[in-house]
Amino acid sequence: LPAKFDWRDKKVVTPVRNQLSCGGCWAFSIVGGIETVYALKGHPLLELSVQQVIDCSPRDYGCNGGSTVSALSWLNEIKVKLVQDSEYPFKAETGTCHHFPNSSFGVSIKGYEAHDFSAQEEEMAQKLMDSGPLAVIVDAVSWQDYQGGIIQHHCSSSEANHAVLITGFDRTGDVPYWIVKNSWGTTWGLDGYVHIKMGANICGIADSVAAVFL
């Protein structure tokens, strides 16, 4: 593994979004991953519709919550084409699912994998480099007050409640850390990102890890 790796350096990560008072973190994390993998395939970096996932994923609850894995399973089974964010913009509330003609532009996934990488964060870092950003579920209770630095304490590895996207890692300092993109706007944390210590499953970051293929 290199000492430092961040998909942002390759200009394939879209800007941090703000989910406002919608509990749609699960949709933001997977859409963020799909956007990057689509760009890695040589396409332009596009913002895809989070609202489409919030409104249409049938086994989830829109702004009242959902699961990254069940949403990815739906996207994969139906081969749903995710349209651009500008076509189906974020409204911060659950709405009626809009359908688009088959001929219209959209990005569909070819597959996904979801694994528990606890005690295997080196392998998880390799997966990040091989497959693209990783959608993970963490305990984010203490993140309410986070401003910066590397989180090492005050969260649990058994109470996952918030979905985010890992875009990279940094092992150059005393404390190696994951670079994590959140969906609470750029005024939160480190321009919308948070750093989590690597190697100890802090906040349960390695318990439920999903990668997409396009």
Partner 1 sequence: FFFKSYNRTYRQGSEEFHKRYKLFQESLRRHHFLSSSSNATNTATYGINQFSDLSSEEFRTIYLRALPVHVPKYSKPYKSSRKRL
Q: What is the DSSP letter of 59?
A: T
Applying CB under 8 A, which residues contact partner 1?
Answer: 19, 21, 23-26, 29, 60-61, 63-70, 114-118, 120, 123-124, 127, 137, 140-142, 144-154, 160-163, 174-175, 184-185, 187-189, 207-210
Contact call for residues 1 and 171 (beta carbons, < 8 A): yes
Nearer to partner 1, 84 or 152 (CB): 152
Cβ 83 to partner 1 shortest distance, Å: 23
Residue 170 CB, nearest approach to partner 1 (Å): 12
Length of the chain: 214
Spot the catalytic one: 22, 25, 56, 63: 25
Q: How far is the CB of 148 from partner 1 (least distance, A)?
A: 5
Rank residues 102 and 144 by Cβ distance to partner 1 and give the closer one.
144
Long-range contacts of 58-64 (CB under 8 A, 24+ apart): 60/26, 60/27, 61/94, 62/22, 62/24, 62/93, 62/94, 62/95, 63/21, 63/22, 63/23, 63/24, 63/92, 63/93, 63/94, 64/23, 64/94
Which residue, 45 or 190, is less far from partner 1 as judged by CB?
Answer: 190
> Which active-site residues does the annotation give?
25, 162, 182
